[in-house]
Amino acid sequence: MSERLVVVGDTLLDVDLEGRAERLTPDAPVPVLDDLREHPRPGGAGLAALMAARDGHPVTLVTALGDDEAGERVAGLLPGVDVVRVRYDGPTPVKRRVRSGGQSLVRLDTGTAAGTVHGVPPELRRVLQEASAVLVADYGRGVVQAAEVRELLAATPGRVPVVWDPHPRGADPLPGARLVTPNRSEAALFAQRSGSTTTAPSVPAGTPLAGVRAHADALVASWRAQAVAVTLGGDGALLSYGDGAPVVLPAPGVTALDPCGAGDRFATTAAIALGSGSVTVEAVQQAVADASDYVARGGPASLREDTATDDPRPADAAAMVAAVAARGGTVVATGGCFDLLHAGHVATLRAARGLGDALVVCVNSDASVRRLKGSSRPLVPAADRVRVLEALECVDAVVVFDEDTPAELLDRLRPHVWAKGGDYAGADLPEAEILARWGGQAVVLPYLEGRSTTGLVRTATRLERLVDQWKEGSR
């Protein structure tokens, strides 16, 4: 049997209307949007199913779509998804976000009146019985509240992990769910609703994590769930099993361009991981990583076919540069091998970040380092160098380039400032001419004296020789 994810819940039509806002109307202080482009996608349970299909997993979506143009449009936006439609008499909800420069200006909702589910197709029982995992994406539109659907969900075999993504307007998760995934504000609301906050321990002011833990513990008991993972946005997630110390899973630092759909990405990854045999903490850890990566790639924009790329990092950085520039911010870029990251590197990176609103670090690939430094370098492979750089608070994005210079990469990214270390002081930077093409500026920043990777390597080599001599003499 293949590892098939079954997504059960409400599907919406999400539409982004994006344009350029460069002037105000003469009759009111509101922006005029030119060159509007429409980007439709499924929302709610449909978005979760599309994400799973785009990941290459077999997926079945059990949902309700209205008998209307929006419903037919959503059905056409689900390539690779097997759709099982329940009988439903309501409209398909449509959410339209009007956006410019990476920012939402207004959201227009239609089809908000919920309908009624009038029965489920006979194959639904078989679909749930054969699932490797079930994700309930409840948006409070009626699918998950339907008695027939809840009865079949309750009969799902115990071997099948159920991940429940709840909604304030939805139904309570069924007892026994492997994992329930409210966000911070939802967890507080659900705990208050259930009356669990009256029995939760008092939380001193200034300890918000303790409050999240209290709500999560209370919800494990109230919902009789095996675990609750409270998503914390850029702070990651807190996982509670109801007693004992919770597990906090931090998120990697990323630039949040558009977090819409991050919760769906989190729940989808967790369900797939549990269906593949991961334990709960491993599934939540992967979910945090995937949700962060989704946001860093531009959120919903990353799902468009025209943004697909085999190497996502340049696209991530380009999207970040565009978003910062659209807000009127300054993007700074710097580059180097960063082999054995030391205090001199950190000082330069911090100084570079201080010149603007975001910092992109361009890193030589392993092959590029070997051509520049010799066959004995790099000491640290590119993947690890990137991981260390991304962990620095002053770094917003890291991109690896394979050429001898970052010229081609800079031409794609087009930062406002290019900063290099002090060993270039008084010299013409080779990148200055490139930056001048779009009005950018190349600058030199001072190094910390006496700090260099070459010096560290020489010191380590001398120490190694001294140890070898000592060993030889002691024999």
Whether 61 is in a domain gets the answer: yes
Q: Which of 103-107, 189-193, 330-334, 443-447 has the lowest mean pLDDT?
A: 443-447
Report the CATH number at residue 53: 3.40.1190.20
119 and 42 part of one domain: yes
Last residue within a domain, chosen from 247, 281, 302: 302
What does the block give as tokens for 132?
A: 């490797």
Whether 469 is in a domain gets the answer: no
Whether 159 is in a domain gets the answer: yes
Residue from 150, 154, 183, 149 nearest 166 by CA: 183
Torsion-angle region of 96 (φ positive above 0: left; ψ -120 to 50: alpha; else: beta)? beta
- Rounded distance, CA 219 to CA 441, Å? 54
Whether 464 is in a domain gets the answer: no
Q: Work out the average pLDDT over 101-116.
A: 86
41 and 141 part of one domain: yes
Per-residue pLDDT band for 74 (boundaries 50, 70, 90) equals: very high
> What are the helix (H) ranges across 24-145?
45-54, 69-75, 124-129
pLDDT for the residue numbered 347: 87
345 and 425 part of one domain: yes
163 and 275 part of one domain: yes
Residues belonging to the active site: 264
Q: What percent of the chain has pLDDT over 70?
A: 86
47 and 141 part of one domain: yes
pLDDT digits (tens, 9 = 90+) for 291-309: 998 987 788 888 876 444 4
322 and 297 part of one domain: no
For residue 243, how many C-alpha atoms fall within 13 Å in the half-sphere facing its CB?
2
pLDDT for the residue numbered 185: 94
Q: Report whether pLDDT(197) > 80.
A: no
148 and 13 part of one domain: yes
pLDDT for the residue numbered 471: 62
pLDDT for the residue numbered 420: 86
Report the CATH number at residue 376: 3.40.50.620
Whether 466 is in a domain gets the answer: no
402 and 271 part of one domain: no
- Rounded distance, CA 132 to CA 2, Å? 8
**Intra-chain end-to-end CA distance of the chain, in Å:** 64
Q: Report whether pLDDT(200) > 50.
A: no
16 and 161 part of one domain: yes
Q: Report whether pLDDT(203) > 50.
A: no
pLDDT for the residue numbered 199: 45
Write down the mean pLDDT value for the chain.
Answer: 86
361 and 391 part of one domain: yes
Name 104's bridge partners: 99
pLDDT for the residue numbered 474: 63
Measure Cα distances from 242 to 80, 165, 185, 223, 237 in Å: 38, 18, 19, 11, 15
288 and 325 part of one domain: no
Q: Are 134 and 162 in contact (CB under 8 A)?
A: yes
- Rounded distance, CA 386 to CA 363, Å? 8
Whether 200 is in a domain gets the answer: yes
- Looking at the structure of the chain, the number of domains it has is 2
Q: Work out the average pLDDT over 77-92.
A: 93
182 and 236 part of one domain: yes
pLDDT digits (tens, 9 = 90+) for 239-250: 999 988 999 999
Whether 323 is in a domain gets the answer: yes
Q: DSSP labels for 53-102? A: HHTT--EEEEE---SSHHHHHHHTT-TT-EEEEPPB-SPPPEEEEEEETT
Best-predicted range by mean pLDDT among 42-46, 357-361, 397-401? 42-46
Per-residue pLDDT band for 313 (boundaries 50, 70, 90) equals: very low
Per-residue pLDDT band for 286 (boundaries 50, 70, 90) equals: very high
Alpha carbon 74 to chain centroid, angstroms: 23
Q: Are 63 and 79 in contact (CB under 8 A)?
A: no
Q: Tell how strand 82-85 and strand 59-63 pair up.
A: parallel
pLDDT digits (tens, 9 = 90+) for 368-383: 999 988 888 888 888 8
- Rounded distance, CA 406 to CA 363, Å? 8
- Rounded distance, CA 141 to CA 118, Å? 13
Last residue within a domain, chosen from 277, 302, 327: 302
Q: Residue 93: which domain range?
A: 5-302
